[in-house]
Amino acid sequence: MKKLLFISGIIALTFQFSQAQSAKITYKNELTAPKELEELKEKDPKKYERYSFMIKKMNERTKQLRYTLKFNDQRSEFKTNPKMAKGDDAVSNMSMPQSEYFYDLSNNKRYQKNNISGKEFLINKESITWEILPETKVINGYKARKAVASQIFFSVDRESGELKGKKQPVTAWFTTELPFAYGPENYGGLPGLILELKTQGKNYSVEKLEIDEDKNLEIKFPDLSNALSEKEAASMMHKAAAKMFGR
* Model confidence band, residue 2 (pLDDT cutoffs 50, 70, 90): very low
* DSSP helix/strand/coil, 16: helix
Interval 27-40 mean pLDDT:
78
3-state helix, strand, coil in the chain (%, to 5): 30, 40, 35
pTM to 2 decimal places: 0.81
Domain that includes residue 95, residue range? 2-244
Contact indicator for 162, 171 with CB cutoff of 8 Å:
no
pLDDT digits (tens, 9 = 90+) for 227-240: 988 888 888 777 77
Task: Count the domains in the chain.
Answer: 1
Of the ranges 48-52, 82-86, 105-109, 222-226, the best mean pLDDT one: 105-109
pLDDT tens digits for range 48-59 = 777 777 777 887
Exposure on the CB side of residue 21, measured as CA atoms within 13 A: 9
* H-run or E-run covering 70: strand 67-71
Which of 82-86, 93-97, 168-172, 235-239: highest mean pLDDT? 168-172
pLDDT digits (tens, 9 = 90+) for 193-215: 999 999 988 999 999 998 766 66
Q: Which residues contact 167 (CB under 8 A, 6 or more apart)?
A: 150, 151, 152
Look at strands 99-104 and 75-80 and give their pairing: antiparallel
